[in-house]
Chain A
Amino acid sequence: MLLEMKHITKVYGSLYANDDVHLTLEKGEVLAVVGENGAGKSTLMKILYGLEQPTSGEIYLNGALQRFRSPHDAIAKKIGMVQQHFMLLNPCTVAENIVYGREPKKHGLFFDREAAVRITEELCGRYGLHIDPRRRVGDCPVGLQQRVEILKVLYQDADIIIFDEPSAVLTPQEVNELLRTMRKLAEMGKSIIIITHKLHEVMAVADRVMVMRLGKYIKEMPKEETSVEEMSYLMVGRRIVERKVAPQKTTGTVLDVQDLVLAGSDEKNILDHFHLHVDGGEIVGIAGVSGNGQSELIQCLTGLLSPTSGKILLNGKDVSGQSVGQIREAGCACIPEDRYLWGCAAQATLTETAIMAHQYRPEISSKGLLSGRNTRAFTQSLLEGYDVRNSGQGQKAGELSGGNIQKLIVAREIEQKSPLLIAAEPTRGVDIGAMEFIHNKLLEKRERGDAVLLISSELTEIMSLSDRIYVIYEGRTAGEFRKEEASEESLGILMMGGKLHEAI
């Protein structure tokens, strides 16, 4: 037994983030720790990596009791972690990032950057992970940045490598590459722990699976003896119903974007003659690696940015360049991609959050005065109708958990009852239960005959909800699919800027 974590308990205030959890790891093994958000997986790993101290419990390495007060201690015992949010120095080179912490020196004082490059090349060769050591990390795509993180851990000579939600930011091709890398490292004798809630990845890469729910250890089993269905049942504690979306007739075009251009600061356009249309009664998905113009597209559609040229027709009326208020008036609601930046004010109460953009409705206010009774009743209807767990309407929006504040924002925007709803990353960082709920609400909106534009970096979300799918790449419409024509592979290739015939 290489690693053993026994009776790990971590208490924050009155919350048990980990409650008597056990974990074991053998040499050369890939262990998947699965669970919903808030199940305590990350806390457990932070304890193992020395970022958090357990309230009680022990960690044994090769049978010897350990105490990790900081990552420094864990690194010294050959435990490395590939963080979900990359811990990189963007202005520095790949080589500088990799040797950080154990830099090669000249005359005992000076940083030998040439040696760092040589070390990196040698390391890349040994593990078959290729990357240009002199490239600036900030210029590398996300997949390569993750590779830098992995190489960093390997340079620290880690025997145990923790991957925290490693595929969250990757394209399908990059995910496959990553899973291959993990298998290869395990074959070379490294032990790997992967934290994830993507069960098909677990099936592809893990030897053994451990399930956690609400801070508790639930069960563990060899991969061969389990299935995606069993794992999701154990994770959520109830059956998740496979969603069947019945095809339905669409009504006329609600949103028609023609030849939309948004000039960038250099010659390249951020949005480059982009086009799409969304009909009533359908959900249209936009798939793409984040940073390919999705954010700017949303901002153009909602009036936060003024496009350089092109038309945005909402119910036949050109709204491009109009103000946010005018566009909302014309029938566009939006679940913004970043709930804290655009979606709510952290210091606002739930009542205030709920009536944002509803404030001029006659039942909410008249002659510029808000009706206290009606706003409270309206807020209560949203909180109850959308299952937002709260401790009263006076609670601050920032105090709700991510899933709950997201549900409130979704509620507020859907209750605009607008002909068009833009849903940007509607389920980013929320747990499976809330995700299922939000998805159902979007589908209800579609059934009512409204148009929904769904922008998401989760391909599975796009594929399961959308009637039609566009792929955006460098601000262009790189492809359009009907639901039944789309596959993860074909979308993935277009998302990476490839051409479709390369796929077939």
Chain B
Amino acid sequence: MNSAYIASIVNSTLRSTTPILLAALGSAVCSRVGVFNIALEAQMLIACFFSIAVNYTTGSVLLSVAAGIFSGALVGLIVAVLQVKYRAADMVIGTSLNLLVQGGTTFLLYLFFGLRGVLNDPKLVSLNKINLPVIRDIPFLGRALENLTILDYLCYVIAVLLFVYLFKTVSGFRTLSVGINKSAAESLGTKATRIQMRMVVLSGALCGLGGTALSMGQVTMFTENMTSGRGFIAMAAASLGMSHPLLTVLSSLFFGLCQGIGVALQNVIKSQLTMTLPYIATIVALVIFSRRGGGARAKKRTGGL
């Protein structure tokens, strides 16, 4: 295995990480305020669709990204209203939204564009590919960072910003307190429900950005159900990263790596098999994690009774 090969794996790892990381951060902020949001898949997929739809109609990259963020946030708002405000069951809401968006985007694709399954057109504009001036000439690094988009860098900045917000600011402290003990936060005058709703909408926006990174990053197209479970992988990444923004970066990179390796190996092994790698990794990671989590819970139970 030569270094060029490794560099290309790094490159595809970074590209695969971006949507997962953004959605995982969305998942993390939700669980930090005690909301179990499983509509991540819906929040991402709707953004994939609308970013490409707006891209196709207007040709503007900026408007496309905005449409992605906005549509994701809109689904987040639905989750917030139903699940947080009216306390509907999280499983029901999440599952039905995921199914609804999956069917809905396919339907809208047909309705608006008369297309079945795929929207891929030469007039679609992709995000600018960045090749940093000096670095592109460094042999390994240049290849590893080749043709990344702004979002591939921005997601790490967002992770750091979220970390600073949650753990260093007063407002972040209040936000965290809602997840630690909602009634305590409320008893001290914090408007806990409002904070929860705000965070769910934020998660929608983050997932929306993640969906946009998916449909306008490596490829520029929309295909039916193109998120293919990335929302759930993101949930796994967030819980593996203990809903901490910086640890979530690490766990997302791990899942990104699995996808990267999967892509790299598809010429060696049957691609049907390599495509399953991220999902196998998810199951393995969740089993390991839930063992740990279960242990902690069991301990709490004997101690707390």
B-contacting residues of A (Cβ < 8 Å)?
51, 70-72, 75, 81, 83, 86-92, 96, 100-101, 103, 105, 109-111, 152, 264-265, 270, 291, 295-296, 299, 337-338
Contact = CB atoms under 8 A, between A and B. Distances in A.
Contacts of A51: 187
B184 interface: yes
B87 interface: no
3 closest A-B pairs by beta carbon, nearest first, are A72-B189, A87-B184, A295-B305
Contacts of A71: 186-189
Contacts of B295: 265
Given A71-B188, A87-B187, A296-B305, 5 more contacts: A71-B189, A86-B184, A88-B184, A89-B181, A295-B302
B168 interface: yes
Interface in B148-176: 168-174
A109 B180 contact: no
* Majority secondary structure, A binding face: loop
A92 B180 contact: yes
Contacts of B171: 109
9 contacts: A72-B189, A87-B184, A87-B188, A92-B180, A96-B173, A101-B188, A103-B173, A109-B170, A264-B302
B299 A265 contact: yes
B282 interface: no
A80 B190 CA distance: 15
Given A70-B189, A88-B184, A265-B299, A111 B173 contact: yes
Interface in B249-305: 295, 299, 302-303, 305
B183 interface: yes
A92 B174 CA distance: 12
Contacts of B190: 101
Contact of A91 (B180, B188, B305): B180
Given A103-B170, A111-B168, A270-B302, A87 B189 contact: no
Given A70-B189, A71-B189, A101-B189, A88 B173 contact: no
B27 interface: no
Given A100-B177, A270-B302, A338-B305, A87 B169 contact: no
B170 A111 contact: yes
B170 A75 contact: no
Nearest to A70: B189
A100 B177 CA distance: 9
B188 A100 contact: yes
A87 B170 contact: no
Nearest to A266: B299
Contacts of A338: 305
